[in-house]
Structure formats: C-alpha cells, structure tokens
Structure 1
Amino acid sequence: MNYKENLKNALTGQTVERKPFVSVTQLGTIDAMNHYGLKWPDAHKDANQMATLASSLYELAGLECARLPFCLTVEAEALGCDVNLGSNERVPEVEISPFEYADDIEATDDFTKRGRIPVVLEAIDILKEKYEELPIIVGITGPFTLTGHLLGIENLVRYMKTDIEEVEIAVENCVDVSMDYIEEIQNHGADVICVNEPTASPELIAPDDFKSLIKPNLEDLADYIEVLKVLHICGSTQPIIKDMATCGFDGISVEEAVDIPQAQKEIIEDNCVILGNISTSKTLLSGNSDEVKGDVKKAIDDGIDILAPSCGIAPNTPLDNIKAAISERNEYFNL
C-alpha cells in the first residue's frame, strides 16, 4: 500500500479502498520514546531524534504517516520568545515574549534559520530520504494562536474587547510569518501541512469573531499552501464547521464533540473532507482496547473520511491502544 497516494486520494475526495489512519496533530508518546531510547526535550532539538519519533507510530503501530514537530512553539521561539521545552510528559510552552504591540511582530530576514526551524526542516529531509511512500505531515501554528503566544493570551483577550484593530494587525503580521515558514516546509518536501488553530475554538472565541477575524487569514494561508492542507481546531467546532470547511483547506480535523453525520450534511458541497475524531483523552489515553475499537468503528459508521486522533496524542497514551485503533480499522475493511 502506498500510504502517500491513499491519503492524497482521501484528502481530495476520491474513493479509497480503505480509510487512511493518520495523525495531523502531535504524536510523540513515552512508550515510543522508551522503545527507541529517546526523550523530550531532546527530540524537540535534534533532527535525527525528531525524525525517529515522528515516524515511531508508523513503525510500532502501523499509523500511516510521519508527523512533526511535537509542539506549537517553534515559530514563537524563532521570533524571539523564551520557550520552556518541557519534559517527557509536558509539551513545550511559551513563557516570555518580547512583543507588546502588534506592529512589533515581524519576521527577521533569517527567521527560518533561527530556533528549531532548521531542526524541523532537517528532520523532513531525513524522513523524505527514508520513506518514499509514507506521507510526511508537518504541523504549524495558526496565525491567531501564534498571536496569542506573541502578545500573551490576556492581552489578546483584552484587545479583542477594546482594540480589535490591534488584533487584526497582529494576526495579519503572523500570517506573513507563517508564509515564510510554509515556503521552507514546502521546499523540503512535506506532503501535508496542518494548520493548528486551537485558540480559535468556539469555546474561546465567538463564532462571529471567527468568521470576521480569523477566517479571512486562514483563507490567505490556504491559498498560499501549495501542498495538501488540513485545518485543525480543538473543541466543539460544530458552530463553525461550515466556515472551517470553506477556508480553502482539503480537510478539517475535528474532535469527538463534533457530530460527524451532521457535519457532513453541512459541508456536502464544500469540497472538504473531515478527519478525526477518535478521542485522545477518553479512549486512546484512558480507555481499554475494546473502547478504542468501539470509537473507531463508530467514527467509520458515522462517515468520517480519514481516521485520526481528535487532538494531540497525550504522551502517556499506551502504544497498545494505538495498535488497537488501527487493528479495528483493518478488521473493518477486511485487511
């Protein structure tokens, strides 16, 4: 099976013999790290370790992709933020930002040579050399979420209420930053780019604000991305599912809170497929194999186009549960 072609066909709405099972979100697990003798934060900083961990669930469980990096702080760090790289059980997070105002946000000429961006790009090269038929998925931080990293969530929330123009300028500047990064990711041969925009969840931002403020910038990013592209937003995204589907991405990645049959009805004319929505917390992390298999079967029965974890895989997720999920997909399609 050429997993790259199968994913491409599924993302472009073509008929596939079996639904792909991938992850467009974080997939590093402690079980995989222990198997290969890896650890965080080292695998965030070393290209060889990053490539090994990115493909670990393919090698160990049959997940049909390599996916990197394992956090949403790469761009912020390259722009000058102080990032705590965390530990085996905690992903990196931004601690201090040098930015206070929207106009301050600007990528330097050497932006893509700073921080861990060169590590990500080298890891893509390593994966491209090793796997000809395995899709390489690269996650980037959405412009609204990146704005929150740079200005601080408290400032962002305050500006949303008192100075929306400041937010608009900041997000537009973050789009420019993202485009510089996207160009390099594409030059290095990534097959899919996933724009992760967790701060745009309806649980945090009103649907009307998503439509007026965030959607236009996501449309600009989608237009700029030349490879296959997916938009991931966390939480209960049912209220914005139509707007997500019309941003211009090939697929939208959703959590288990989304009613898949209803979502499919809403986007039936939009040339956009749905990825998800296997629960990362209730089943993959905390459930047993039967519960995991039940989740997978339900997602397929509900009409999911591409199977994937509903959000970033928790580091403590048992490898056996990942194997059980893929086993159920295989049994469903008589593989």
Structure 2
Amino acid sequence: MSRKLLLKAVEQAYSDRRRLVAPLLGFPGINLTNSSIKVAQQNYIEHYKVLNALYNEFHPDAMFTLMDLSVEANALGCYTLFPQEESATVLHSSFDESRLEFMNSIEIEGDSRALSYCATVKKMSENFQDSMTCAYITGPYTLAGLILGANKAAEMTLTNPELLDDVCGTAYEKIKTYAEMLTSSGAKAVCVLEPSAVMLGPEQFIRFSAEYVKRITEIYSESDIAFIYHICGNSMHLLEAMCDAGVNALSLDSPETGMDIKKACKSAGDNIIVIGNINPAGKILYGTDDEVFNETEKLLNETAEFPNFVLSTGCDLPQAVPLENIRAFMDAGRKYKLP
C-alpha cells in the first residue's frame, strides 16, 4: 500500500516538533480579489485567483478549493440558485423515481461546473508548491438529501430505505466519477462533505454513507491520495463508523457543537489523522487577533500528546472573517513547538 502524502507530511511535521496548519480557507479570499462568490464558483480563473491570493498571503500547508455542496447536485439537474454574495444553494423540488433513471444516464464528466473545479485544481497543483492541493466532493447521503430534500431523505431511512439505497447508489456513482476527475487534475487529498449525516444513527450512517465512501477509498488504497471525512456538528457518535470507512483523516467541527477533540484523537488511533477544530463562527469571526492567537495556542496545547493531529478550523471560514484573525491563527500554529 502506498503511503499517503498527507500522512507523510503529518509524520514529518511531528518529528520536527511542529504541526501542519491547514485552515479551511476559501471565502475570505474573495475580499483579497474584490471578486464575488458567484463568479469564483463559476469561473475557474477567478476561483484560482481567490485561492492564489490566500496562498500568497498565508502559505498554509494545505489549500482547499472553495467549499461547494452544489456541484454534483447541479450536474444531476437539481434546481440550484447562484446568489452573488453567497455560496450556490440547491433548492428542494419534487422527486419521483423516474428522475433517478435519467440521473443515472447523466455523464458528470461533461458538466461545466465540475470541469471548472477540476481546472482550478490543476492550476493549484501546478503552482502551490509548498501547499498540498485538496478538493471537496459531496457525501452520498448528503447528495441524496439534496436530490430528495433533506427531510424526505431522513424520513426514508425509516419508511423506504430501499429507495434511499437506490438514490445513494446513484449519488455514489457520480461522486466516484467526480473524485476521479479531481484526482486526475492533481488533488492529493479529497474531503468528503457529509453534513446531513450528523442526524443519522451509527447503523444508518454505515448503510447510507460509510459503505459507499469505503468503496471509493478502496479504489485509492494503492495510491498516495488521501481521503478525509467531514461532518458538521457533533459527530462523536459516528467516529468509529467514520474510521471504518477507510478514510485517512477526519475533519471535525468545533467544541461548541459537542466535539471532544482529545477523545476523537484517541478514538482515531495513530493511522487516522484528526483535523480541527477552531470554531469558524466564534472568535476567529468576531474576536480580536489576540483572542484568536490564544484560542489556537490553547487547542495546540490540548492536543500536544497526539501525533495524528492537524491544526485547522471546524468548518470553512465565512467570507466576513477578518484577515488579521486568520493571520493570528496561522502565526499561533507556525510558532508553536511540540514538547
């Protein structure tokens, strides 16, 4: 089995008594380029300009594309809005089973937005020499929820799990293809965004998310490409199932949601990286740079005993996060030395 580049980087940093610093950046870069979220999410050159501005400003150890849960759903024909100053949003529309056959026939390789994100990834991999290029895909249950409606998907876990299996299966096929497109374009880590799954119990989570994610990770078992599971909110009850999905890292939400980062690091073991978990809507958004520095240093002290930790944010940062607070976060991470 090939050693994942992400794991190698974490091990090297730990041996150097430091941490990788990889906040989930993206939207604050809009402020550096005077662009808009709408334009950046639809124009790969503008998208890259936003990320390049962040890269030049902060030089994090990993750079992610803009977080976007609409790419695959939009490619499958779901009704999607593109506000000028907000991320694209998939709106619920009625669903019947006949649509599933049509969705299965769609070749996502030809979707303009999917191709745009791949073009951004290609430019990132070519130009961000000291930052790992990372991209996002939507998790199977979350994509099923976008197709069906989140409430309907949750209801179907009990009332019609067989049909939900079919929808998740279609979602799996499309996100698998999208992952192949992104990795072929140069992504060295792929983050599976599964926010809707936080409402599931462990058995449901395994059935409607983890089993499909495991099929994807098995495809890359001999490659150096890492997979990351990200679930918003308190996912403590899903940690074991997340780890069993074959992923190489867990991206975990902030303590304010109920996440216990130390317990998560222990549960994950030495072979799965834990990424997190400064609150993106807390001090980094509303506080002073000193408060951000101190909060970040406190998190680093709390996790010092764990070799498998990467300093990051609990989710993607809002556009309104002050750049000086991101700088304080980065400074705290860069200056910190492990005992």
* TM-score, normalisation: structure 2: 0.88
- In angstroms, what is the RMSD of aligned CA positions? 2.3
Say which is worse superposed, 317-326 or 236-245, in terms of deviation. Answer: 236-245
Residue 337 of structure 2: aligned partner: 333
Residue 272 of structure 1: aligned partner: 272
Residue 253 of structure 1: aligned partner: 251
Q: Alignment length, in residue pairs?
A: 323
Residue 236 of structure 2: aligned partner: 238
- Structure 2: distance between partners of 1:74 and 1:172: 17
SS at match of 2:103: coil
Q: In structure 2, do the counterparts of structure 1 residues 294 and 185 end up closer, same or farther at CA, with 3 Å as the change threshold? A: same
**Deviation by residue 1:2-47 (Cα, 9 ceiling, x = unmatched):** xxx9844245788442211113x46211xx3232232121011111
**How far does residue 71 in structure 1 lie from its aligned partner after superposition?**
1.3
- Structure 2: distance between partners of 1:158 and 1:6: 40
Residue 40 of structure 1: aligned partner: 37
The within-5 A match list for 1:2-151 is 7-11=6-10, 15-17=14-16, 18-23=18-23, 25=24, 27-29=26-28, 32-88=29-85, 90-97=86-93, 99-101=95-97, 103-104=100-101, 106-108=103-105, 110-151=107-148
Residues 11 and 250, structure 1, Cα contact 8 Å, conserved in 2: no
SS at match of 1:280: coil
Work out whether 1:186 is the aligned partner of 2:190: no
**How far does residue 96 in structure 1 lie from its aligned partner after superposition?**
4.9
**Deviation by residue 1:285-331 (Cα, 9 ceiling, x = unmatched):** 12222221222112212226101110121111111111000111122
Residues 58 and 64, structure 1, Cα contact 8 Å, conserved in 2: no
**How far does residue 76 in structure 1 lie from its aligned partner after superposition?**
0.7
What code does the residue aligned with 1:290 have? D
**How far does residue 62 in structure 1 lie from its aligned partner after superposition?**
3.1
- Structure 2: distance between partners of 1:45 and 1:9: 33
Say which is worse superposed, 282-291 or 102-111, in terms of deviation. Answer: 102-111
**How far does residue 107 in structure 1 lie from its aligned partner after superposition?**
4.1
Work out whether 1:169 is the aligned partner of 2:166: yes
- Structure 2: distance between partners of 1:323 and 1:133: 18
- Structure 2: distance between partners of 1:259 and 1:72: 26
- Structure 2: distance between partners of 1:245 and 1:294: 30
Residues 10 and 20, structure 2, Cα contact 8 Å, conserved in 1: no
**Deviation by residue 1:81-109 (Cα, 9 ceiling, x = unmatched):** 22112232x21110255743384363445
Work out whether 1:281 is the aligned partner of 2:281: yes
Q: In structure 2, do the counterparts of structure 1 residues 200 and 12 end up closer, same or farther at CA, with 3 Å as the change threshold? A: farther
SS at match of 2:27: coil
Residues 10 and 306, structure 1, Cα contact 8 Å, conserved in 2: no
**Deviation by residue 1:136-178 (Cα, 9 ceiling, x = unmatched):** 1101111110001111113212212211111111112211111
**How far does residue 248 in structure 1 lie from its aligned partner after superposition?**
0.8
SS at match of 1:80: coil
SS at match of 1:296: helix
What code does the residue aligned with 2:241 have? D
Unpaired runs of 5+ residues, structure 2, are: none
- Structure 2: distance between partners of 1:147 and 1:211: 15
Residue 214 of structure 2: aligned partner: 219
- Structure 2: distance between partners of 1:333 and 1:37: 36
- Structure 2: distance between partners of 1:180 and 1:12: 30
Residue 319 of structure 1: aligned partner: 323
- Structure 2: distance between partners of 1:6 and 1:179: 20
- Structure 2: distance between partners of 1:218 and 1:166: 19
- Structure 2: distance between partners of 1:55 and 1:247: 32
Structure 1 stretches (4+) deviating beyond 6 angstroms? none
- Structure 1: distance between partners of 2:96 and 2:150: 12
* TM-score, normalisation: structure 1: 0.89
Residues 7 and 273, structure 2, Cα contact 8 Å, conserved in 1: no
**Deviation by residue 1:190-223 (Cα, 9 ceiling, x = unmatched):** 111111100111xx22233213432212211222
**How far does residue 131 in structure 1 lie from its aligned partner after superposition?**
2.5
- Structure 2: distance between partners of 1:6 and 1:289: 32
Q: In structure 2, do the counterparts of structure 1 residues 157 and 109 end up closer, same or farther at CA, with 3 Å as the change threshold? A: closer
